Amino acid sequence: MSNAVEFHRVSRRFGAVTAVDDVSFSIAAGETVALLGPSGCGKTSILRVIAGFERPDHGTVSIGGRDVTALKPYERNVGLLFQHYALFPHMTVAENIAYGLRHRGADRREIPDRVEAMLALVRLQGFGSRRPHQLSGGQQQRVALARALATRPGLILLDEPLSALDAKLRQDLRAELKQVLAAVNSTAMVVTHDQEEAMSLGERVFLMQAGRIVQVGAPSDVYGRPGSRFAADFMGRTNWIEAQVTRRETGLARALSRSGLSLTVPDCPSDAIDICVRPENIILSAADDADQHGMANSAKGRILNVALLGSTRQILVEMAGGEQILVMQANRVGDGLGPGQAVTIGFPVDACITMPAGNPTGLAA
């Protein structure tokens, strides 16, 4: 019931712009992959090439072992979920779901049962006779999902599936989407610019930049071991410390930052390095706290400001040498951290990711 996807050296140009630049990848049958990248990086073009709306200039696309490069969209059984749902406004919910079944030649007598089953799958029983405009955004998206899955496509493509919904609803629907995708056991590709969506839905993340896939890996890998400054920045908030390696030991390096911080970090072949430290990996404590003694790296500073984000808070700390470091913490009660307070920050060696300086696409050590 699920189809593997194979992209072999595919390119697609629009005039002078190369939207997809010699891209190859494969998705295993049943796997859910998130294609992540900033807007304009070519991820939508890849989706449209797989769906058949764009013909690649070079390369081949195969779905389920069959070369589909020359096939029209309606000749491939690929489910498509649109960002703004694209439900047919002049049809009822049931007619929308039945549309694909009618055109894919399903037995007419079986269509009503199949429609009911799909409505049940997305928990919308009894909504069949409504019109799309009578539903909320989340319900519309679920109808769109039911419509896309009704024909049992071996592959489903989801274009920014949750970005049109508000934040709370997005979380609920994300979990539901994951359940439904697992239930139908279909290969899926989620195209998104939202790293949270990509990490929570994808078993693997394909990170795209300027028409190319720059990193592939499990969400935790791409987040925890970014291959470039771009990858590190795109996957989440990051502190960058520019430093020079002063001494090397087995697998470790001593480095001195511009402002005079002395750090122990994983080794890197280059002497000029950029050190990436995620804000949530930094421990912050009162200036003379003994907790920091076990840390490989610690430094003193002063709080510049505290931003509350609900369950978490971001604390900007100015180090003695002038560097500003962002710290992310759970927003616990009663420690009264505020601007001006002297603090110590600390982080272990493995919280540091080092890469050669000034090379935005360079590989990590």
Partner 1 sequence: MTAIPVQPPPIAIPAPPRTTLFLLAPGLLLLFAIFALPLFGLVLESLKQYVPGRVGSAVDAPLTLENYRELATPSFAGVLYETFKLSAAASLAGLLAAFPLAYCIVRRFSPRQRAVCIGLLVMLVLLSMLVRTYALELAFGSVGVARPLFLALGISPTSRWYTETLVAAGLLHAVVPMCTLTLLGTIQNIDPRFCDAAQSLGAPAWKAHLGITVPLALPGLVSAFLIAMTFSISAFVIPMVLGKGRVLFLSNTIYTRFSDVANYPSGAAVSIVMLVISLLVLSLVSLVQRRRGSRS
**Least distance in angstroms from the C-beta of 54 to partner 1:** 11
Candidate list 74, 125, 248, 262; residue touching partner 1; CB under 8 A: 74
> Tokens 């003994």 identify what position?
290
Rg of the chain taking only CA atoms, in angstroms? 25
Candidate list 26, 28, 67, 88; residue touching partner 1; CB under 8 A: 88
Using the minimum distance from each CB to partner 1, give the nearer residue, 14 or 335: 14
14 makes contact with partner 1 (CB under 8 A): no
In terms of DSSP bridges, do strands 212-217 and 239-249 run parallel, antiparallel, or are they unpaired? unpaired
**Least distance in angstroms from the C-beta of 51 to partner 1:** 6
Candidate list 86, 256, 337, 349; residue touching partner 1; CB under 8 A: 86
79 makes contact with partner 1 (CB under 8 A): yes
Site string for partner 1, 328-347 (x = CB under 8 A): --------------------
**Cβ atoms of residues 129 and 153 within 8 Å:** no
43 makes contact with partner 1 (CB under 8 A): no
- The C-alpha atoms of residue 213 and residue 284 are separated, in whole angstroms, by 36
322 makes contact with partner 1 (CB under 8 A): no
Question: CA of 221: how far to CAs of 37, 205, 239, 357, in Å?
Answer: 16, 9, 18, 21
Stretch that binds partner 1, among 5-13, 35-43, 50-58, 107-115 (CB under 8 A): 50-58
Stretch that binds partner 1, among 77-85, 270-278, 291-299, 344-352 (CB under 8 A): 77-85
Tokens of 157: 């493509």
> Tokens 């990248």 identify what position?
37
77 makes contact with partner 1 (CB under 8 A): yes
89 makes contact with partner 1 (CB under 8 A): yes
301 makes contact with partner 1 (CB under 8 A): no
**Least distance in angstroms from the C-beta of 11 to partner 1:** 22
- The C-alpha atoms of residue 127 and residue 267 are separated, in whole angstroms, by 59
- The C-alpha atoms of residue 48 and residue 100 are separated, in whole angstroms, by 18
Beta bridge partners of 79: 156
231 makes contact with partner 1 (CB under 8 A): no
**Least distance in angstroms from the C-beta of 88 to partner 1:** 6
- The C-alpha atoms of residue 280 and residue 83 are separated, in whole angstroms, by 31
- Sites for partner 1 among residues 118-177 (CB under 8 A): 131, 147-148, 151
Alpha helices in the chain, H assignment, sequence order: 43-51, 93-103, 111-121, 137-149, 167-184, 195-201, 219-224, 229-235
Candidate list 100, 138, 211, 227; residue touching partner 1; CB under 8 A: 100
Minimal CA–CA distance to 170: which of 189, 194, 149, 144?
194
Using the minimum distance from each CB to partner 1, give the nearer residue, 74 or 322: 74
Residue 74: strand, helix, or coil: helix
For helices 111-121 and 93-103, angle between their N-to-C axes, nearest 10 degrees: 120
**Least distance in angstroms from the C-beta of 242 to partner 1:** 45
103 makes contact with partner 1 (CB under 8 A): yes
**Least distance in angstroms from the C-beta of 87 to partner 1:** 8
**Cβ atoms of residues 162 and 131 within 8 Å:** no
First-last CA distance in the chain: 41
Tokens of 159: 């274009």
**Least distance in angstroms from the C-beta of 167 to partner 1:** 24
**Least distance in angstroms from the C-beta of 26 to partner 1:** 22
**Least distance in angstroms from the C-beta of 238 to partner 1:** 35
Stretch that binds partner 1, among 2-10, 60-68, 84-92, 347-355 (CB under 8 A): 84-92
Q: How many residues does the chain have?
A: 365
Site residues (vs partner 1, CB under 8 A): 51-53, 72-74, 77-80, 82, 84, 86, 88-90, 99-100, 103-105, 131, 147-148, 151
